[in-house]
């Protein structure tokens, strides 16, 4: 019994020391071998990387990944990963990859607990939510960045997606149901703040989904506040907001006014699928919803994707991407799925190889590529969805004709998630945001 108590006390002291070290402003010290492996992996070609990964795993190794998206665990990905490994080492088994999933909040708790306890279980993470990524992993030194050579040297990549390295952009956007309301137009983000839409804006509760919280926080940055000001000054806006009611926020009054009225008008749901279902049932309603959820709308006599308009694309959206966005302000929010290596990883080369595969191989990425609103950070593996709404040559579902991420960012002026920016502004906005939600 004394021996068990002693072991428990030592373990507690080690964990406490690690927590104290990070809390005192010192970053966690990763395993030097992991750092060395990542540095080396970033210089390797696809085949060179998979050769080292295959030798590292051998006959008994199993790479474990924890993710907030289940798609990376599909057979298309797993079988290709195993096949690429076995080209270099036939001893690698079909069980060399275990891909587990969990929810946004839990992934950070699970991995933090393992790192602080010195457990070598999960080697890599596929995650979202820039705020938690920054504050719980990047600022503490718990997560390590790996950028594949094959990705970095590819044509057309935006290097801003490399630190932290992102697999893909996911997209939330404005959409509305114009069934029986042919004259309905949402062509300025300030339109959603009008009192006529109180109770008619369907979205996820930002308290339940940090991606929505991250977006609202990022609206308070100088650039996004300026974009809101420009949209406010445009003649297209329809709103009854008194901007001077927010004058105490100084130059940021546009951001605070927009956020306050958006919250006031919104109806919160537990998930985007539920929000989408209700938008499809409610003519005259507006959605701030993940674009891909439109695929969940089941066609019937009363409900159809034909009635959903993506505001930035307009109701007549065709296979030819519009030359300008049909909404002033911003077309949506590009958040990301990030790939990070754990600092005490048992199989760093294998982790890097898995990340290289899903971020640069079109077959591996195909599990994400089918839905509108999912865009790889490597443009060459993007699936063309500009004719997604065509049936036998007829533009049947205009909302499904999805342009590229480049269009959304450059022409649509989408807000692009920046973890460091969100983290630095989060605490400033949070009291206002929680007060606005409480007073709904």
Contact 72, 367 (CB under 8 A): yes
pLDDT, residue 20, reads: 40
pLDDT in tens, 132-158: 999 999 999 999 999 999 999 999 999
Nearest to 158 by CA among 173, 169, 170, 146: 169
Measured between alpha carbons, how far is 173 from 153 in angstroms, rounded to an integer? 31
Peptide bond into 164 cis (omega under 30): yes
Contact 311, 176 (CB under 8 A): yes
pLDDT, residue 208, reads: 86
Question: Confidence band (pLDDT; 50, 70, 90) for 292?
Answer: very high
Provide mean pLDDT across the span 406-435: 96
Nearest to 218 by CA among 429, 22, 359: 429
pLDDT, residue 209, reads: 85
Neighbours of 249 (CB within 10 A): 16
pLDDT in tens, 230-281: 999 999 999 999 999 999 999 999 999 999 999 999 999 999 999 999 999 9
pLDDT in tens, 26-49: 689 999 999 999 999 999 999 999
pLDDT in tens, 298-354: 999 999 999 999 999 999 999 987 889 999 999 999 999 999 999 999 999 999 999
Residue-level length of the chain:
440
Q: The whole model's pTM is what?
A: 0.92
pLDDT at 440 over 50: yes
pLDDT, residue 104, reads: 84
Measured between alpha carbons, how far is 336 from 417 in angstroms, rounded to an integer? 7
pLDDT in tens, 90-118: 999 999 999 999 988 899 999 999 999 99
Measured between alpha carbons, how far is 282 from 177 in angstroms, rounded to an integer? 7
Q: Which helix (H) or strand (E) holds 83?
A: helix 75-86
Half-sphere exposure (Cβ direction) of 156: Cα atoms closer than 13 Å: 11
Measured between alpha carbons, how far is 287 from 265 in angstroms, rounded to an integer? 11
Nearest to 284 by CA among 156, 197, 414, 221: 197
Contact 96, 39 (CB under 8 A): no
Measured between alpha carbons, how far is 159 from 352 in angstroms, rounded to an integer? 18
Which is higher by pLDDT, 207 or 93? Answer: 93
Q: What percent of the chain has pLDDT over 90?
A: 91
pLDDT in tens, 355-380: 999 999 999 999 999 999 999 999 99
pLDDT in tens, 164-176: 999 999 999 999 9
Provide mean pLDDT across the span 182-197: 97
pLDDT in tens, 9-18: 333 333 333 3
pLDDT, residue 420, reads: 97
- Mapped onto helix, strand or coil, the DSSP state of residue 162 is strand
Nearest to 169 by CA among 120, 211, 230: 211
∠ Cα 378 382 384 (to 5°): 155
pLDDT at 23 over 50: no
Q: Read off the tokens for 311.
A: 């505001």
Nearest to 297 by CA among 309, 284, 315: 309
pLDDT, residue 102, reads: 95
């Amino acid at each position: 019994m004394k021996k068990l108590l002693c072991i428990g006390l030592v373990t507690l002291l080690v964990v406490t020391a690690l927590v104290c070290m990070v809390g005192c402003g010192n970053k966690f010290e990763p395993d030097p071998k992991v750092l060395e492996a990542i540095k080396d992996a970033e210089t390797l070609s696809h085949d060179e990387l998979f050769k080292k990964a295959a030798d590292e795993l051998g006959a008994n190794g199993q790479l474990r990944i924890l993710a907030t998206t289940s798609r990376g665990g599909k057979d298309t990905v797993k079988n290709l990963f195993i096949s690429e490994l076995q080209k270099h080492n036939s001893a690698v088994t079909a069980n060399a990859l275990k891909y587990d999933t969990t929810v946004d909040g839990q992934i950070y708790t699970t991995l933090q607990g393992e790192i602080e306890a010195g457990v070598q279980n999960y080697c890599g993470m596929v995650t979202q939510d820039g705020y938690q990524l920054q504050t719980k992993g990047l600022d503490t030194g718990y997560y390590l960045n790996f950028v594949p050579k094959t990705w970095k040297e590819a044509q057309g990549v935006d290097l801003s997606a490399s630190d932290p390295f992102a697999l893909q952009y996911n997209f939330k956007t404005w959409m509305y149901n114009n069934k029986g309301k042919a004259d309905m137009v949402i062509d300025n983000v300030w339109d959603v703040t009008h009192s006529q839409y109180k109770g008619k804006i369907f979205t996820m509760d930002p308290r339940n989904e940090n991606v929505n919280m991250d977006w609202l926080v990022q609206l308070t940055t100088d650039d996004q506040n300026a974009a809101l000001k420009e949209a406010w000054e445009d003649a297209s806006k329809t709103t009854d907001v008194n901007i001077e009611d927010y004058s105490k926020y100084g130059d940021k009054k546009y951001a605070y006014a927009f956020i306050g009225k958006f919250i006031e008008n919104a109806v919160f749901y537990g998930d985007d699928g539920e929000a989408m279902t209700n938008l499809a049932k409610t003519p005259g309603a507006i959605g701030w919803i993940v674009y891909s959820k439109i695929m969940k709308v089941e066609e019937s006599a009363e409900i159809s994707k034909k009635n959903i308009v993506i505001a930035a694309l307009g109701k007549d959206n065709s296979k030819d991407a519009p030359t300008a966005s049909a909404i002033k302000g911003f077309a949506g929010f590009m958040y990301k799925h990030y790939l990070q290596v754990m600092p005490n990883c048992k199989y760093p080369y294998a982790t890097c190889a898995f990340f290289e595969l899903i971020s640069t191989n079109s077959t591996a990425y195909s599990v994400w590529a089918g839905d509108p609103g999912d865009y790889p950070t490597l443009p060459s593996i993007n699936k063309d969805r500009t004719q997604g709404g065509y049936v036998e040559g007829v533009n049947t579902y205009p909302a499904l004709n999805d342009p590229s991420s480049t269009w959304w960012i450059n022409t649509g002026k989408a807000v692009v998630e920046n973890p460091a920016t969100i983290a630095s502004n989060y605490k400033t906005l949070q009291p206002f945001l929680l007060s606005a939600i409480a007073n709904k």
